[in-house]
Amino acid sequence: MTDAVLPALAETPAAPAAASLTAKTRRRRALVYVQAAPMAFVFAAFFLVPLLLTLIVSFWEYNEYEIIPSFTVQNYVDVFDGCLNVADPCTTVRTYLSTLKFCALTWAFTLLIGFTVAYFVAFHVRSATMQMALFLVCTIPFWTSNVIRMISWIPLLGRNGLVNDSLLGLGLIDRPIEGLLYSDFAVVLAFVHLNTVFMIVPIFNSMARIDRSLIEAAYDAGASGWQTLWHVVVPLTKPGIAIGSIFVITLVMGDFVTVGVMGGQQIASVGKVIQVQMSALQLPAAAANAVVLLGAVMLMIVAMTRLIDLRKEL
C-alpha cells in the first residue's frame, strides 16, 4: 500500500507546476499575437488587400468606355499573345528583355560600387564617427526626390550640356554626342545613381559582423589580399549581397519614372507599359501585367534565396 501511494504523492506537486507552465506559455503566445496584430493589420490592409484586388481586377473585362466585372482570361491572353514565336518575340518578351537588361546592368554596377564603398568604410575607416559621417554623405541625395535627382543629369548630359561643351572645348569631339541623354546609357546611369545606396547598406552590415580575427588568420596563413577578399570576405558578405540585390532588382523591375524621364519616353519597360495602360484607363490589362511582373520578380527572388539561405546566414 505504501509503495503504491509514494509515486502518486511524488507526482502530485508536478501537476500544478505543469499546468502553471502551460498557462504561462499560453499567455506568452497570446501576448506575441497581440504585439504582432497591429503590424499584421497594416500588412494586410496595405499589401494583401490591394494585391488581392489587383488580382481580381486582372480577370475583369473592359472596353473603351467601361470596366465590366465579369470573369475572363483575355487580359492574360493579350499579355502573352504571339510569345510562342521564338524567331519574332512578342511585345511582352521584348519589353521584359529590355527591362532585364537595365536590371542586369544596374545590378552589376551597383554591386561593384556598393561592395567597394562598403569594404572601404568597414575595413579602412577605424573611427565609428567617421563611418557614420560617410554613411550620412551616402544618404544626402535621398533628402531630395528621385525626379529632382534625375532632372539634375539633364544639364550635364544634354546636347548643349556641360559634358558636351567641355569635350567640344577641349577639341576631343567635333560635334555633340547624342547618346548621352534620352538613351539606355542615361537610364542605367540614373538607376545606378538612385539605387547604389540600397546595395551599400546591407553589404556594410554584413562586413561589420565579420570577425577581424578571421582576416588576421588568413594573412597569417600566407593568403594575399585578393585571396583573403575572395575566400573570406566575399563568402561572409553573401547575405548582404543577396539583400542588396533583392532591393535593386525589385526597384528597377517596377520603375517607370526613371525610364520615362531619362529615356525621353522612347524606351520600353514593363513598368512603363503598366503606367501607359493605367493612363488610358485600361485597368484590367494593367492589373494583368502587374500580376505577371510580380510573378517574374518573385521567381527572381526565389532563385536568389535558393542560392543563398538568408535565414541560415542571418
CATH of the domain at 219: 1.10.3720.10
Parent domain of 21: 2-57
Instruction: Specify if 78 maps to a domain.
Output: no
Q: Kindly report the pTM of this predicted structure.
A: 0.82
Q: pLDDT tens track of the chain, all 314 residues?
A: 455 544 544 455 555 666 666 777 777 887 878 888 888 888 888 889 999 999 999 999 988 888 888 888 888 988 888 777 766 777 888 888 899 999 999 999 999 999 999 999 888 887 778 888 887 887 777 777 788 888 888 888 888 888 888 888 888 888 888 888 888 899 999 999 989 989 998 998 888 888 888 888 888 888 887 888 888 888 889 889 999 999 999 999 988 888 988 888 888 888 888 988 888 888 999 999 999 999 999 998 888 887 776 665 55
Cα-based distances in Å from 53 to 228, 254, 288: 50, 18, 11
Query: Are residues 102 and 153 part of one domain?
Result: yes
CA distance from start to end of the chain = 58
Which residue type occupies 159? R
Q: Residue 138 belongs to what H/E stretch? A: helix 128-139
Do 225 and 130 share a domain, yes or no?
yes
Q: Of 36, 57, 78, which residue sits at a domain end? A: 57
Same domain, yes or no: 205 and 90: yes
Interaxial angle between packed helices 270-279 and 238-254, expressed in degrees from 0 to 180 and rounded to the nearest 10: 30
The dihedral of CA 123, 214, 239, 230: what is its sign? positive
Residue 286 CA to chain centroid, in angstroms?
Answer: 21
**Residues 27 and 128 occupy one common structural domain:** no
Query: What is the distance between the alpha carbons of residues 145 and 139, in angstroms, rounded to a whole number?
Result: 12
Residues 33 and 162 in one domain: no
For residues 44 and 38, what is the distance between their CA atoms, to the nearest angstrom? 10
φ and ψ at residue 221, rounded to 5 degrees: -80, 0
**Contact status, residue 246 vs residue 301, Cβ threshold 8 Å:** yes
Please report, for residues 57, 71, 78, 229, 279, the alpha-carbon distance to residue 68 in angstroms, rounded to integers and kept in the order given: 9, 9, 17, 59, 18
Q: Is residue 75 part of a domain?
A: no
pLDDT of residue 94: 87
Q: Note whether 177 and 122 are same-domain residues.
A: yes
Whether 276 and 128 share a structural domain: yes
Q: Within 13 Å, how many C-alpha atoms sit on residue 117's CB side?
A: 19
**269 — alpha (psi -120 to 50), left (phi > 0) or beta?**
beta
**For the chain, how many structural domains are there in total?**
2
- Phi, psi dihedrals of residue 67, rounded to the nearest 5°: -105, 125
d(CA 115, CA 128): 19
Same domain as 123, residue 211: yes
Same domain, 183 and 304: yes
Helix, strand, coil percent values for the chain (each to nearest 5): 75, 0, 25
pLDDT at 103: 94
61: left (phi over 0), alpha (psi -120 to 50) or beta: beta
Q: Is residue 200 within 8 Å of 114, Cβ to Cβ?
A: yes
Strand, helix or coil at 268? Answer: coil
**Which three three-digit cell numbers place residue 248?**
535593386
* β-sheet bridge partners, residue 67: 62
Q: Identify whether residues 42 and 105 lie together within a single domain.
A: no
Element counts in the chain: helices (H) and strands (E): 18, 2
CA distance 96 to 89: 11
Statement to judge: residues 133 and 276 lie in one domain? yes
Q: What are phi and psi of 275, to 5 degrees?
A: -65, -40
Give the DSSP H/E element, type plus range, for residue 61.
strand 61-62
Q: Which three cell numbers stand for residue 118?
A: 562598403
pLDDT of residue 15: 56
